[in-house]
Amino acid sequence: MQRIVILLAVLVTCPAAFATTLMGPPAAMLNGERFGLSAEYSQTDADIAFEHAGDAIAGDFDFYGGYDVFSAAATRWWEFFLRLGAARADASDFGGDTNLSWGLGTRLTAFEWGDFTWGAMVQFTNIISRFETMEQFLDEGDSVVLLETEEELGVVEYDFATGPAWRHGRFSLYGGLLLRYVTGYVDFDAGVARDKFDIDTRWDVGGYVGGTFSVFMADPSRASCLGRCDLMAEGRFTGDSSGFSVALLLPFGGEP
C-alpha cells in the first residue's frame, strides 16, 4: 500500500517538540532556602517544522502543559531542579492526547550587586507519547482504505538562558537571552506500512521576561520551615514560538 500525503495525525503530535516550559530567573531562585516545591502551567503558540523524504512540512499549533517541580540548592548560588508533568498539543480542529513530560535543569548566580544578580540557567525537557489514529492508504487497485495506526513521538528540547534579575522586598523582575535547541522524531506504524518523520532540528533564539511577588513571607524573628510563597508570571518569544507561564513556588528548609 502507498500512503496518501495527508499528515494530520502526525501534525497533531508535533507541537510537543516545542513544549516550552517556564524558564524562571537566570539565577538561583531559592534565595538561601535548601529546597523548593512549585506548580507550573505553560501555554505556547508555535510554528512547527519537520522533514520527510527531503520535504519540509510546517504548521501552527497550541501547546498546554502542567508540571510539578522539585528544587534543591547545592549552595546559595547554585541549584538543581526536576520537572514532572503532562503536556497536550492542539492543531486546527484536532486535539492531541495528554502525554507524560519530564525534565531536569540547573541555575547558577554568577555575581550579585545589591538588589541585582546576573546568572545563567540550562534545562531540558523530554517527551515520549504513543496513541492511535486512522490514516488513509491506497491499495493495489488504487482504492482508498482506512487503517488504524500507532504513532510515537520522541522529543528532547534544550534551553539556555542568561540575564539579570532584580529583587526588592516582595517583588522581583528578571529576563534575558533565550537559546533553544530541539530534536526528535515521529514514528508511524500501520502494520502493513511503517514511516518516520524527523523534526526539523534547529537552533532558535529569542528572549523572555518575568516577575515574582511574595504573597507570604515568614517573620525572620520566628522559626518557620516555610520561608515564603512566591507567585510567578513569565512571557517568552523566539523566532518560532511565543508563550507564557504562571507558577507558585514554596521554598523551605533554610533561613527566610
**pLDDT at position 156:** 81
Residues near 15 by beta carbon (within 8 Å), at least 6 away in sequence: 44, 46, 48, 61, 62, 63, 89, 90, 91, 96
Is the pLDDT at 165 greater than 80? The verdict is yes
**Dihedral pair phi/psi, residue 11, rounded to 5°:** -60, -35
Q: What is the mean pLDDT of residues 242-253?
A: 90
Percent of the chain with pLDDT over 70: 68
Say how many Å lie between the first and final Cα of the chain, rounded.
66
Q: Report the C-alpha gap between 189 and 207 in whole angstroms.
A: 38
Q: Position of cell 516550559?
A: 21
Q: For 26, what's the count of Cα atoms within 13 Å in the CB-facing half-sphere?
A: 23
Beta strands 202-217; 171-189: pairing state: antiparallel
Q: What confidence tier does 218 reach under pLDDT thresholds 50, 70, 90?
A: low
Q: Stretch 166-174: mean pLDDT, rounded?
A: 93
Confidence of residue 127 (pLDDT cuts 50, 70, 90): confident
The pLDDT of residue 42 is 92
C-alpha pair distances (Å), 86 with each of 22, 40, 64, 103, 161: 14, 11, 9, 11, 23
Grid cell at residue 222 = 520566628
Instruction: Give the mean pLDDT of 38-42.
Output: 95
How many residues are recorded in the chain? 256
Q: Taking residues 28-45, report their average pLDDT.
A: 88
Please write down the long-range contacts of 181-185, taking CB distance under 8 Å and 24 or more positions apart: 181/157, 182/17, 182/18, 182/155, 182/156, 182/157, 182/158, 183/155, 183/156, 184/17, 184/127, 184/153, 184/154, 184/155, 184/156, 185/153, 185/154, 185/155
pLDDT greater at residue 188 or residue 74: 74
What pLDDT is stored for residue 48 in this prediction? 63
The Cβ of residue 4 has, within 10 Å, a number of other Cβ atoms equal to 11
Least confident of 66-75, 129-138, 185-194, 224-233: 129-138
What pLDDT score does 57 carry?
A: 59
How many domains does the chain fold into?
Answer: 1
- Indicate the Cα dihedral angle 139, 57, 95, 242, nearest 10°: 180
Q: Which domain holds residue 106?
A: 2-252
Q: Which three cell numbers stand for residue 164?
A: 539579570
Task: Enter the C-alpha cell of residue 223.
Answer: 522559626
The rounded distance, in Å, linking the Cα atoms of 172 and 165 is 7
Computed on alpha carbons and rounded to an integer, the radius of gyration of the chain in Å comes to 21
What CATH code is carried by the domain that includes residue 47?
2.40.128
At residue 96, does pLDDT exceed 80? no
